[in-house]
Amino acid sequence: MSARALPACLRLAPSVRVALANGEPVVALESTIISHGMPYPQNIDTARAVEAEVAAHGATPATVALVDGRMHVGLGDAELERLARAGGGGGAAAVVKASRRDLAAVLSRGQLGATTVSGTMVAAHLAGIRVFATGGIGGVHRGAERTLDVSADLAELARTPVAVVCAGAKAILDLPKTLEYLETCGVPVIAYRNGGEFPAFYTARSGLRAPWAMDTPGEVASLLKTSADLGLCSGAVVAVPIPAEHAPESAAEIERAVAAAVAEAEARGIAGKECTPFLLRRVSELTRGASLAANVALVKNNARVASLIAGSLAGMAR
């Protein structure tokens, strides 16, 4: 590992520290998806299954969260359980959804914080982790021309060299505008084994082209290595379609539910950081759990692909 001094509040789990020191693959995982993205107990089951998926594919999982004034990279099971119970749809106030802007406040107050994509990217980069798996990135919200609601995830991708392996941007968003924003920021978006199409989170098809199409972990790792060699400080979006066998039966039903949830959020004045958790919960209720089942399946698949990319990247450094 580099001689760069690590911040005093950064805590690497022993497994993560050893893997990084040995140049072995590590995959970062976020915690907002646990605390604010899914209900209990599906959230804790998914968190454990995703870590197991990473390990099964030869990489060390490093779930990120803010606990008692420390930025943890790699959590124990008790901490995962604490995050899952504190969030889980019910008492989400007990755990703060933390993007970049919230990191210093949550840490200095010693609050419990679950990191979003942007917060997790910051932590991963500090720790020296280059690949991160999640469900879907935040993006430009529908109606952003009025609200200016654009996820901090996009600005983070522009400035932090961590690859985010996801199923695209969440379908509750405006996908064309999200791709435009990423283009403006200079963030490569790679459609992974999807015929060049940008996936639409719950479904593989968005009708939108991604700027790049790649079919192997080695190709993606090579792009990441080249980007680092050039000193480009931007991240990358590796957009992996949900496996066909896990896609919801009716894409139209999902889209109807999304449209209804977005309208409801607007009518109820739900905005800011509450917006995404509200939409995910309402879409799950309106589809009687179909969207949640798809979400669980796609996160696991993304964890698998991220592990293969991290493995390939680690091999290139040898």
| Pairwise CA distance, residues 187 & 182, whole Å | 5
Q: Which is nearer to ligand PSU, 116 or 312 (CB)?
A: 116
| Pairwise CA distance, residues 120 & 104, whole Å | 13
- DSSP class of 308: H
- Any catalytic annotation for residue 245? no
Is there binding between residue 37 and ligand PSU (CB under 6 A)? yes
SS3 per residue for 125-166:
HHHCCCEEECCCECCEECCHHHHCCECHHHHHHHHCCCEEEE
Q: Which is nearer to ligand PSU, 34 or 190 (CB)?
A: 34
| Residues in 139-158 that interact with ligand PSU by CB under 6 A | 151-153
Is there binding between residue 153 and Mn ion (CB under 5 A)? no
- Active-site residue (options: 30, 51, 79, 197): 30
Choosing from 25, 61, 74, 135, the residue that interacts with ligand PSU (CB under 6 A) is 135
192, 214 Cβ separation under 8 angstroms = yes
47-55, 142-150, 186-194, 296-304 -> range binding Mn ion (CB under 5 A): 142-150
At residue 127's C-alpha, the angle toward residues 309 and 133, to 5°, is 35
| Pairwise CA distance, residues 28 & 7, whole Å | 18
217 is in the binding site of which of ligand PSU, Mn ion, none (Cβ under 5 to 8 A by kind)?
Answer: none
Q: Which is nearer to ligand PSU, 17 or 174 (CB)?
A: 174
Q: Which is nearer to ligand PSU, 12 or 171 (CB)?
A: 171
Q: Which is nearer to Mn ion, 75 or 182 (CB)?
A: 182
Instruction: DSSP for 53-108, please give it.
Output: HHHHTT-EEEEEEEETTEEEES--HHHHHHHHHHSTTTSGGGSEEE-HHHHHHHHH
30 is in the binding site of which of Mn ion, ligand PSU, none (Cβ under 5 to 8 A by kind)?
Answer: ligand PSU
Residue with tokens 């606990």: 67
Strands (E) located in 37-171: 60-67, 70-73, 96-98, 113-115, 131-133, 163-166
Is there binding between residue 149 and Mn ion (CB under 5 A)? yes
Choosing from 17, 36, 300, 304, the residue that interacts with ligand PSU (CB under 6 A) is 36
CB of 316 to ligand PSU, least distance (A): 28
Is there binding between residue 239 and ligand PSU (CB under 6 A)? no
| Residues in 269-298 that interact with ligand PSU by CB under 6 A | 273, 276, 280, 295
Is there binding between residue 30 and Mn ion (CB under 5 A)? no
| Pairwise CA distance, residues 172 & 72, whole Å | 30
CB of 150 to Mn ion, least distance (A): 7
Residue with tokens 């719950």: 202
Is there binding between residue 136 and ligand PSU (CB under 6 A)? yes
At residue 90's C-alpha, the angle toward residues 242 and 283, to 5°, is 35
Report the Cα 259 to chain-centroid distance in Å: 23
Is there binding between residue 116 and ligand PSU (CB under 6 A)? yes
CB of 150 to ligand PSU, least distance (A): 8
- Any catalytic annotation for residue 300? no
Secondary structure (3-state) at 195: coil
| Pairwise CA distance, residues 92 & 78, whole Å | 18
23, 317 Cβ separation under 8 angstroms = yes
Is there binding between residue 174 and ligand PSU (CB under 6 A)? no
CB of 135 to ligand PSU, least distance (A): 2
- For ligand PSU, the binding residues (CB under 6 A) are 30, 32-33, 36-37, 116-117, 134-136, 138, 151-153, 273, 276, 280, 295
Active site residues: 30, 170
- For Mn ion, the binding residues (CB under 5 A) are 149
